[in-house]
Amino acid sequence: MWKIEDNRLFVFTNVCEKVAKESSYLNKAKILKDFFEHGSSHTGFNGDLLVWTRMLIPSDSQRVYNLQNKQMLKLFSRLFNTDPQKMQHELEQNGDISEVLSKYFRLSAKLAPQSTSSLYLQEVDELLEELTKLTKEDEQSELLRQLCNQSTSSDLKTVVRIIKQDLRMNAKASHVLAAFGPTAYPTYQATRNLQSVVEQVGLKVPSTNRKTGAGLMCPIERKVKIMTPISPMLANACNSVEEAFKKCPNGLFSEIKYDGERVQIHKQGNEFRFFSRNLKPVMEHKIKRFKEFIPQAFPCSGDMILDSEILLVDTMTNDLLPFGTLGAHKKKKFQNAVICLFVFDCMLFKGEVLTDLSFQDRRKILEDNIKPLKSYVQLSEIHFLKNKNELALMVAKVLKAHLEGVVLKDPCGTYQPGKRGWIKVKKDYLYQGQMADSADLVVLGASYGSGRKGGVLSIFLMGCFDNRDFLWKTVTRVHTGLDDNARLEMHDELLKLMERSKSTSSTYLVFV
């Protein structure tokens, strides 16, 4: 029966608050480890470890709630009978939507919070699953009303944080899973399957039923599971060709670094799943035709997992179009362009896991089994480089062609999910950044940050003057590169010169 003390929402909230107050990541993991060993009663943990772990790592569920801050304010302001503009102003100053909603829940005369918490994690989990199925405001509002009718203001704050996938603990998945031992997070990176990790840590039964002295973690076999996303292998920045060859003195493979979008492809029988670099589903308009093309390009593949990049290719000139052109609206501007898939690695082929094979062996499997479809499915361009001179020439060639750079790979390297085992060389990194592109822009607008940046203008809308059209045009947004003191100084100066945009859809302050 799941209605036990260790499964109560308020117990979960208390643990999260305790973790949040601890600054040391090691001690955060220790707090969780102690709780999962002893439980809230200190006689042994009897809760549902899988539900707990999923709640502690809310991003793992990949749930989409269709509830951004603006929509939440709109729905809850109606439930609480509160002025949404007042709540919006509070959010700008506070930066934490969960705190704002919790406060106005306490103040509401229309919908009063419960005095004591009665919710269980399993009930919250079911409610959140139901919320993902709702897109109409009336349906969302009714479900959120049901939640409020059962919640304290603290309960609501915790549930909103789960929805926002930020428990405000300053603890990532790696820190949470460190409670289970050193191999839990690497296993999660490889399998991206919390249930598999939890089952293998030996905690399927309450800790009181385990033998005295048994640790949280038992040996784990890392498994790649088809149709479950794998944390992609990444690359470290490299500042010079000399530095690259220090790591691979016997030669390395050089691949074109495509300025597109990373896509991980899972094929099981006739079924496909496409995941982004962040392991989220890829938008359908970007990959819909590949379900037709991939079986043609890999006719004998069986079940497989591919690592790849998608980008627009101009079929008239064969030019690779820049990042951002894959957007549904921007793509319409390029009538002669199609989305091309450039495959550069393979983690599973014909049902066999390849992550422990060397890169050159994995590449050979791809080369031996692909029938390229020009401008639709191709292998990445690759060259074996034996010395620094060859690498210098390759980098120069790539930069002259206005490509992003190169990725360098150890011929003997295995595929390490989530690890930075490759090397990337871009002009931004060379000569201490002196080759990077630059532009002189001015601040046209600013908006308030969130979290610890709440109440401070932290997101800056940058632009320049167009002499032809004789008006200011926006170019980009900037929200990094300033320390706290510089940000506060910018805030004080800009606030004197700006007022809120008259556009109802904009949260920016603009110059008067």
Q: Give me the active site residues, please.
A: 257
Q: Is 369 helix (H, G, I), strand (E, B) or coil?
A: helix
DSSP codes of every residue in 102-156: HHHHHH-SSSPPPSS---BHHHHHHHHHHHTT--SHHHHHHHHHHHHHH--HHHH
Residues facing 308 on adjacent strands: 263, 343
Structure tokens, 21: 């107050």
Q: Is 379 exposed, middle or buried (0-12, 13-18, 19+ CB in 10 A)?
A: middle
Alpha helices in 336-477 (DSSP H): 359-369, 388-400
How far is residue 305's CA from residue 294's CA, in Å, rounded to a whole number?
Answer: 12
Sign of the Cα torsion 35, 39, 40, 46 reads positive
Sign of the Cα torsion 47, 49, 55, 56 reads positive
How far is residue 407's CA from residue 430's CA, in Å, rounded to a whole number?
Answer: 14
Structure tokens, 331: 């793509």
Which of 14, 168, 153 lies closest to 94 in space, CA to CA? 168
How far is residue 54's CA from residue 194's CA, in Å, rounded to a whole number?
Answer: 7
Q: Which amino acid is at 110?
A: K
How far is residue 17's CA from residue 167's CA, in Å, rounded to a whole number?
Answer: 9
Asked whether the beta carbons of 191 and 228 are under 8 A apart, the reply is yes
DSSP state letter for 280: P
Q: Is 462 helix (H, G, I), strand (E, B) or coil?
A: strand
Which of 297, 288, 340 lies closest to 319 in space, CA to CA? 340
Residues facing 352 on adjacent strands: 349
Give the H or E element holding residue 378.
strand 377-379
Which of 389, 392, 424, 421 lies closest to 408 in space, CA to CA? 424
Residue owning tokens 């003390």 = 5
How far is residue 226's CA from residue 235's CA, in Å, rounded to a whole number?
Answer: 24
* Beta strand pairing call for 471-478 and 457-466: antiparallel
